[in-house]
Structure 1
Amino acid sequence: MTEEVPYPRFATRGRAFVYVVPCRDEDLLKLGFSRDPFTRFSTLHRRFYEFFDLDRGLLVDAERVAAARRIERRLIEAFPDYHATAPLVVPATAGGHTEWYRGAHVGIAAALRRIAQDEALRLHDGLRPWLHEHLMARADLLHDWSLRIVDTLDWARNNAPDDPGTDRLRRALLDTWAMFEAAGIDVHALVPASVAHWYEHGEHRRLFDASGSL
């Protein structure tokens, strides 16, 4: 079976951002900077939109890498007593095992808001609208990408039912669908009818009926 990318490729705009993303079910947050926050969040957890609390997350457009590094350093130096161990679910390959903090969300969030205000930087206070905007700007990629996935899964079902790659492709499409829904986007309006039909009636639905979750 042909290799397929794990999600639609969303190109970076080349700016630099400082982010604070708290975990949804634990008093733990990740602080950092990135030129491509979307990809960064994706490397920390494949379903980052569920693992992190988007509504309490913050993202500051620092414009330049040097400014983002400086802001991150200010926050790190201001909260030296709150460092924590990274969650075990964060892959070692993500390089995301530093700058985790426990019990510091209120203070770090307030400090980042002050910095953004003092330096007249754009602040996304809550990441759900940011994710919605990010995904909608690239939504045209979803149509053809999802169709390729479903066509490949259909071919594999008839020709290579034991191919282990099918699980990865199926999971990638389901994760992407869930991500768009988490951003408040109607996925049915963006994908071909065959993809919508697959989502509603595909093999994964039998697993859902048995386990209660995808």
Structure 2
Amino acid sequence: MSLRLPSLRGVQAFEAVGRSGSVAIAARDLGLTPGAVSQHIGRLEEEVGVALFERKGRSLALTSWGQIYLRSVRDGFDHLRAANDVLQRARLKSEIVMSAPPSLAIRWVRRLLGEWQNLTPGVSVRLLGDDHEPVFEDEQVDFRISYGTARLKYAHFTDLFVDRVAPVCSPSFLEAHPIENPADVMRWPLIGIEWKNPYQSPPSWSDWAIRFGLTQL
């Protein structure tokens, strides 16, 4: 097999026409004239030795070889565009972007970031309050604070803290009904917490009772 690659301009013209289905649109996207695009494609066909388009009057249709070639070429250009986006972000970005669920962003993270930035004034951090779990390869987010099992979708993560629950009641109720042992807690009406997916619910009263050797509620 030949290691010599065809003209990149020809491949670029072919991909643009195959993607858009129009020489005129491809010419506009590439900043060329339609005649120049056609010439590039003609030279490419000579280099690869197969017909990539069928010419039907003024329209072009991909041949079977053209369809096969376009699939691979399109993947290659998608990778090039993604690489260029990464490079541009690295060159132009002057801040760290952090995403967190709105409840965490407003009530907890924003305050901590304010304290941290007072200690590191040379670093800019932008906080996004969003329930959407980002895809780092596609979105301009550097760090994500997730809750529950949502963290498992990421290849790399660190647990910041683990939830713990404890029974509570009003001081007046406790004064009227002293609690001497865990079994006393279970004698009264109990209020629990349940969160819908994707958040994992905290331990239930059953879990708490089992922890203290109580098998019946």
TM-score between the two structures when normalised by the length of structure 2: 0.28
Bigger relative contact order, structure 1 or 2, given CA contacts below 8 A and separation 6+?
1
TM-score between the two structures when normalised by the length of structure 1: 0.28
Higher Rg: 2
More helix, by proportion: 1
